[in-house]
Structure 1
Amino acid sequence: MPASRNQRVTLWEFFQSLGKTFMLPVALLSFCGIMLGIGSSLSSNDVITLLPALGHPLFQLVFIWMSKVGSFGFSYLPVMFAMAIPLGMARDNKGVAAFSGFVGFVVLNLGTNFYLTVKGILPTNDALILKANNIQNILGIQSIDTGILGAVIVGIIVYLLHERFHTIRLPDALAFFGGTRFVPIVTSVVLGLCGLVVPLIWPWFAAGITALGRLIHDAGVFGPMIFGTGERLLLPFGLQHILVAIIRFTEAGGTMDVCGREVSGALTIFQAQLSCPTTHGFSESATQFLSQGKMPAFLGGLPGAALAMYHCAKPENRHKIKGLLISGVVACVVGGTTEPIEFLFLFVAPALYLLHALLTGLGFTVMSLLGVTIGNTDGNIIDFVVFGILHGTATKWYLVPIVAAIWFAGYYVIFRFAITRFNIKTPGRESESLPQSAPVNTGSKSGYNVPVILSALGGADNIISLDNCITRLRLSVHDMSRVDDAVLKANRAIGVVHLNEHSLQVVIGPQVQSVKDELANLMRQESQSSASPTLAV
């Protein structure tokens, strides 16, 4: 629930909010990848030869349709980012912000097209000229391909314009154009001018990203490890999406010619190869930064850590934590969501989390050295089946269970030794009895006692802003001392992260969207109730 804020947004909060907005297009991209992966694999000659029944025309029409629908995410990814960023960051009138994001993205490319036309570079169909100037056809416009980075810049500019002008009041003669209507108007002017500047400054941006990609490439086998470890270390602060987007969608993740088109970014390359009928197999240089690197830790390591925590719990407490650990393992293995397990030991044993981050990075390097080529985003069992098994032995999927089993044993031994040797208070080892959750509101769709959670956050009047990412509530509060961590944890919060005197994150898990919606609705009801006038007698 957006709310007006009194204090300035810190740079830390800004980047957290920016990273959170990436989740909307990335979630769609993950789904599109699965559709594309299933469709392309089941329509391939190798699978049809193995399972002739799948060659039936009706089946093939379905699989080709899945491939076409799945290719949507790859084809329109930049414009999705340009819309998702202002949509996610705007506090009010989010629909206007998203609409303005689309306007800004199109107008930026029109401005660039105008500059290139005036300079005599366009119009042309000469492939050498187009490649030399990095010109692509973007939404039907010949323009410089600024990729995801350009879309992110558009999104940020539109967000700043929206926050500045969505409540503007114009003179009566121009009042029709005021308020929210003014946002796309000023966006078209500002981004149109920015489009004129793009051809002058973009080579510098491209050079910087290329240098970052060269640095990662020069790290050799340690490149994937640096990426995997860095992502885990940034996760507790909610900043991992920035690093991930740079590798997945920019030149830092590599550049490759696929089906006659130059594409950049590890995930973009992988999905381009998925949808290209003439490509056989996947690029190892791209997949080394994708799902396969997570699989040792996600499919083996963290379940091993969960088993160690269960065995190290006091016997009388094991039945109390069994459901918590099982749900965490299911979320990790099936959904690729690791926070429900990681936050069980992150705060009580940061050194163990650091070791976990290093072992996750090592998993990326091991998968790369073994030549495994399984892509997509999540590192879960779905990615393993769809992008590994269904694409045949060329992906070397059969090595994943072996490495995952080694990671399972390693995590189990390390965690059990550390927990018992240093008496780490993982779930079930607390001196006092485990806190009992308050009765769940049976009318709650989320299954959480939202009124109690709101009270533990200090009440509606203590909350300045409320939002969520994939697993956690992200809040700004007036008075942090009014937040009761113990009550939040007793009501099924996995963890509570205090970032500064006003910024707070509450780790909920996969149901966080429902919890956030119910909190926002409850806050709205309380606000309306307190604002209702009292009738005089």
Structure 2
Amino acid sequence: MKGYMQKFAQSLMLPISILPVAGLLLGIASFIDSGAINGKGNGVAIFLANGGLSVIDNLPILFAVGLAFGMSKDKNGAAALSGLVSFLVVTNVLKTESMAKVLHVAPDKVDLSFTGISNVFIGIICGLVTAAIYNRFKDTKLPTAFSFFSGKRLVPILSAAAMLVISLLLMWLWPPVYNGLVSFGEMISKLGPLGAGLYGFFNRLLLPFGLHHALNQVFWFDIAGINDISNFWSSTGEKGITGRYQGGLFPIMMFGLPAAALAIWKNAEKRNKKVVGSLMLAAGIASFVTGITEPLEFSFLVVAPMLFGIHAVLTGISMFIAATFHWTAGFTFSAGLIDYLLSLSIPIANKPLMLLLLGLIMGVVYFVVFDFAIRTFNLKTPGRDGLMEEAAKVSEDDNSVNSGASGQAKVSNKTKLIYEAIGGEDNIEAIDHCATRLRLTLKDTGIVDQDKIKKSGALGNKIISDKNIQIIIGTDVQFTADELMQMNKE
């Protein structure tokens, strides 16, 4: 189950990664004319805004297609097409006009829940069901008379049939589910700033398992009626309220975590400061500019979990403070400098400059608290575990080629050490990756040599179950994954 949830969380990143494009278009449009998002004013701005809204308004479809593709075993386009078919079936069968005809009532007599049938939650269901069908039936052979529909061609047909059955169930289940989600969202909303703080706290606590994406769906998208991201970028909602589940993250990712990196560097052993400094500088810049925090967070998550607990608490406090004073800004990908600058031109942003002041305060708090905790409890943060020198040696030789016939693809020493540490071909079942992490399925994680993984220069690792392990590489993880796949084929 954990492995499945990990792959689910990873697959969510595919549709989410498209959002920065929408944010860029909407940010530029709003900069040109603040009324463009609502279809008023400058024609060029309206043109750009419509381009951005075409992504924002169709997130449910993107989730259906993205999850169907991401959860399929071989990442085949047939799975993505089938995901689209599934979504079109369920949303057209259950839309208000169709339900009015089925129930023989006027459209205004149909339960209001069906007006919201085209949402991310339904997109997720379609994607997951389609991927399960694809993985089960993609190699099915039919009798000769029907052989044209064998294999991958069978998947969209079965997907459509399955979604008709699910649509029948949703006719009765969707109203109470929808209304329950709305009630949950309303309950969190009624908690006001406290709700935002609790969200921030649990958002970080779930990060090691990759399940923070699932929690984000409730607050960022239109599952429970909060829809914080879309409402912010379309400048709809209530000024000072819309964006409360985003604003408090900027001080953490732009200031808090880079300050934590500084504290880790300060406490590294003298002989390791150069290596740790380059590592923390790269991770800190990634956090500040793009909001990608995993390289930095995982550098202390495993070796010093106490620091990660402190980090989760401080994130909740930042979210609580920002929501209390109604300081809001928004992001399309993550709470880094790029999204912060883009959100400044969005009319509904409220006192976003105050988030910088909060960020400076949180930066000081992070540095002082991390520095104190590392020294007082002798936490084994990077540079204090005796492995950084070996990691540096590996890093210097990263461009060395794998031994073997000439002409083979280059494989870094980092990848070779990871390959050896996880047991090589005899122990590898599947190799995958997300934005910063290798996600590996092994026959047995019990034989993994974690010390060798550290020596490779990886930022950290976490054994999820007896078959699943994550290794933190950084934003260049794709190249390590490609090299591992190459080695596993040879």
Aligned to 1:14: 4
1:4 corresponds to which residue?
A: none
> In the alignment, which residue of structure 1 is the partner of 2:175?
203
Query: How big is the shift at 1:150?
Result: 1.0
1: distance between equivalents of 2:91 and 2:26?
28
Aligned to 1:30: 20
Measure the CA separation in 2 of the matches of 1:36 and 1:204. Answer: 35
Q: Which residue of 2 aligns with 1:261?
A: none
- In the other structure, the counterpart of 1:268 is 230
Is the counterpart of residue 491 in structure 1 residue 463 in structure 2?
no
Counterpart in the other structure of 2:405: none
Is 2:339 aligned against 1:383? yes
Q: Secondary structure at the match of 1:476?
A: strand
8 Å CA contact 1:228–1:361 kept in 2: the answer is: yes
Per-residue CA deviations over 1:145-185 (Å, capped at 9, x if unaligned) read 24111111111111121122111121122111111111111
Equivalent residues in 2 for 1:391-430 (5 A)?
391=346, 395-430=350-385
SS of corresponding position for 2:234: helix
- The answer to whether the aligner puts 1:133 opposite 2:117 as a matched pair is no
Superposition pairs for residues 319-398 of structure 1, below 5 Å?
319-377=274-332, 378-388=334-344, 390-391=345-346, 395-398=350-353
CA shift, 1:510, in A, is 0.8
105-114 or 76-85, larger mean C-alpha shift: 105-114
Q: Deviations over 1:33-92 (max 9, x none)?
A: 23212222222379xxxxxxxxxx9xx665443322211211211111111111111113
Distance 1:106 1:229 in 2: 36
Q: 1:488 to 1:45 in 2, by over 3 A?
A: same
Task: Name the structure 2 match of 1:462.
Answer: 427
* Structure 2 counterpart of 1:109, one-letter code: T
Superposed displacement of residue 301, structure 1: 1.2
Question: In structure 1, how many angstroms separate the alpha carbons of the residues matched to 2:388 and 2:233?
Answer: 50
Give distance in 1, aligned partners of 2:349 and 2:16: 27
8 Å CA contact retained: 1:446, 1:511:
no
**TM superposition shift of 1:409:** 0.9
SS of the residue 2:466 aligns to: coil
Q: TM-score, normalised by structure 2?
A: 0.90
Which stretch has the larger CA shift, 144-153 or 110-119?
Answer: 110-119
Which residue does 2:128 correspond to in 1? 156
* Residues 241/45 of structure 1: CA separation in 2 closer, same or farther (3 Å cut): closer
Shift of 1:462: 1.6
Which residue identity does 1:386 align to in structure 2?
Answer: L
1:169 and 2:175 matched: no
Q: Is the 8 A contact 2:261 2:296 kept in 1?
A: yes
Displaced runs of 4 or more, over 6 A: 443-448
Contact 2:233 2:346 in 1 (8 A): no
Q: 1:92-107 counterparts in 2 under 5 A?
A: 92=74, 94-107=76-89
Structure 1: distance between partners of 2:277 and 2:132: 47
Aligned residue among 219, 223, 229 for 2:191: 219
- Quote the offset at 1:467 in angstroms: 1.2
Query: Where does residue 530 of structure 1 map in the other structure?
Result: none
Partners of 1:19 and 1:201 in 2: how far apart?
A: 25
Distance change in 2, residues 1:498/1:393 (3 Å) = closer
Aligned to 2:57, which of 55, 69, 75? 75
Residue 219 of structure 1 and its aligned partner are, at CA, apart by 2.1
RMSD: 2.5
Cα distance in 1 between the residues matched to 2:3 and 2:307: 27
Partner of 1:285: 241
Report the Cα offset of residue 27 of structure 1: 0.9
Aligned twin of 1:440: 398
- Is 2:29 aligned against 1:39? yes
Is 1:519–2:474 an aligned residue pair?
Answer: no
CA distance in 2, matches of 1:226, 1:86: 31
2:212 aligned to which of 240, 250, 267: 240
Question: How far 1:458 moved relative to its partner?
Answer: 1.6
Distance apart, 1:93 and its partner CA: 5.6
Q: Distance in 2 between the 1:449 and 1:100 partners?
A: 38
Q: Is the 8 A contact 1:86 1:94 kept in 2?
A: no
Tell which deviates more after alignment, 313-322 or 496-505: 313-322
* Counterpart secondary structure, 2:368: helix
TM-superposed CA distance for 1:282, in Å, is 5.6
Deviation at 1:454?
Answer: 2.2
Partner of residue 477 from structure 1, selected from 415, 433, 442: 442
Task: Describe the shift of the 1:432–1:86 C-alpha distance in structure 2 as closer, same or farther (beyond 3 A).
Answer: closer
Please report how far the alpha carbon of residue 506 of structure 1 lies from its aligned counterpart in structure 2 after TM superposition.
0.6
CA distance in 2, matches of 1:253, 1:412: 37
Q: Distance in 2 between matches of 1:80 and 1:297?
A: 29
Paired residues of 1:216 and 1:252 also in contact (CA < 8 A): no
CA distance in 2, matches of 1:432, 1:516: 23
Alpha-carbon deviation of 1:447?
A: 7.1
TM-score, normalising length from structure 1?
0.82
Give, in whole Å, the separation in 2 of the partners of 1:483 and 1:269: 45
* Residue pair 1:232, 1:240 contacting (<8 A) in 2 also: yes
Q: Distance in 2 between matches of 1:72 and 1:45?
A: 17
Tell whether the 8 Å contact from 2:303 to 2:381 is kept in structure 1 after alignment. Answer: yes
Whether the 8 Å CA contact 1:40–1:63 is kept in 2: the answer is yes
Which AA in structure 2 matches 1:79?
Answer: I
The 8 Å contact of residues 441 and 449 in structure 1, kept in 2 or not, is answered as no
Rounded to whole Å, the distance in 2 between the matches of 1:177 and 1:170 is 7
Compared CA separation, residues 199 and 409, structure 1 to 2 (3 A): same
Larger deviation, residues 90-99 vs 391-400: 391-400
Query: Secondary structure at the residue paired with 1:297?
Result: helix
After TM superposition, the structure 1 stretch with the greater mean CA deviation from structure 2, 293-302 or 423-432, is 423-432
| Shift in Å, 1:304 | 1.4
